[in-house]
A and B are shown apart, each in its own frame.
Chain A
């Protein structure tokens, strides 16, 4: 049974109002722009978005925010030189923000995908981001209790998939993709290209297809250097 979707609209079909959506990417590197555009077209709103950042410029996550579809953002670093869409919504009180240390964000998502109920981490101990959370001393060091973050939907960008959904990524565009792919009810991946099963060396598969529900091809249409100039 192939995981291939006909297009991005088919790939994201079924998302509902109030869904929690894990969105890969670090800035624009690895941000699944075409899948986010399709998410906007579904009309789904009241979304909770889990991503490292809160949008850059006017595209991708920023466009989703500008369309008024997001109730809450859970991220590590919303404020950037080009995060003006989020900044304005936040200052107008139109979007909630939960700031999570980046490693806790990754590990909370990983925990959800790995069936971990909660975990103690030293990150954030003694800071405002640990306020109200249980702290336990283990072997003389303080740790704070953090809970998993699970998604109804994960949108991930990878480099290449095979027809079974096995994935490889490209350079630092990998970032949150492999952990997010494990942590959602439905994981949708956009890739530059798809190959037949067996055409990706099993030793280099990063995300095994068991974590992937749908794959859609969004070919790279501009040279990499030109994409960089727009980023």
Chain B
């Protein structure tokens, strides 16, 4: 268990949302082509310094997406996947939707970061539909991203508001993609999903043993 002890950070509490975004940004290799989906994962961009040379892709037809637009820079013809006005960086490129999704499906994106309702130990992702009768299903580009990017990182809390684990043996929500998630970043721990199983790579304010008692998934420690 000594290796497990080394990854435990008991001197602090869970990661804040900002710290979680920083953690993910730090793990994105320089020069990568990256898609940050919509919502919380887009905050990862705030922690990617320009000298890293990371190029952001947005599904609605752009490489080289810059930060959110402010004031006079707001242009209704220039938005991100969440329809938020954004800016272009030097060397940006525009293209149509079929090309944009060829970049995903064709394996040209290095990393995408997505939110999730559930992730299974084998890397299945559920993030588009709760399946509740009143819910209007809306998938957007999630299924294309999930199966297309070379590496799929999930950014989520480890437990839902009722305290139920979101890292599960088998997803109970409708799937977005099968066996597609490579790494899971949460507020209390990070995990690599490997052919051997789920490997805990860090914990924050909790121990591996505590996680073992709260998750139904066998945990390895490297």
In the complex, A211 has a CB within 8 A of chain B: no
- Report A-chain residues with C-beta under 8 Å of the C-beta of B77: 29-30, 170-173, 224
Could you tell me the distance in whole angstroms from the C-beta of A73 to the nearest C-beta in chain B?
11
CB contact list, A137-196 vs B, under 8 A: 169-179
B95, A174: Cβ atoms closer than 8 Å: yes
CB contact list, B129-181 vs A, under 8 A: 129, 134, 136-144, 147-148, 174-178
- Identity of the chain B residue whose Cβ is nearest the Cβ of A80 in the assembled complex: B83
- Identity of the chain A residue whose Cβ is nearest the Cβ of B137 in the assembled complex: A99
| Interface residue SS majority, chain A | mixed
A99-B139, A172-B62 in contact; A123/B144 too (CB < 8 A)?
yes
B143, A123: Cβ atoms closer than 8 Å: yes
Give the number of chain B interface residues (Cβ < 8 Å). 44
Could you tell me the distance in whole angstroms from the C-beta of B36 to the nearest C-beta in chain A?
15
- Report B-chain residues with C-beta under 8 Å of the C-beta of A231: 76, 83
- Report A-chain residues with C-beta under 8 Å of the C-beta of B59: 102
The 27 sampled A-B contact pairs (Cβ below 8 Å) are: A26-B61, A28-B83, A29-B83, A77-B140, A78-B136, A80-B83, A80-B138, A90-B136, A103-B100, A106-B96, A106-B98, A106-B100, A106-B101, A107-B101, A122-B147, A126-B124, A127-B178, A129-B143, A172-B77, A175-B96, A175-B97, A178-B96, A179-B96, A179-B97, A225-B75, A228-B75, A228-B85
Residue positions of B touching A, CB distance < 8 A: 58-62, 71-72, 74-79, 83, 85, 88, 94-98, 100-101, 104-105, 124, 129, 134, 136-144, 147-148, 174-178
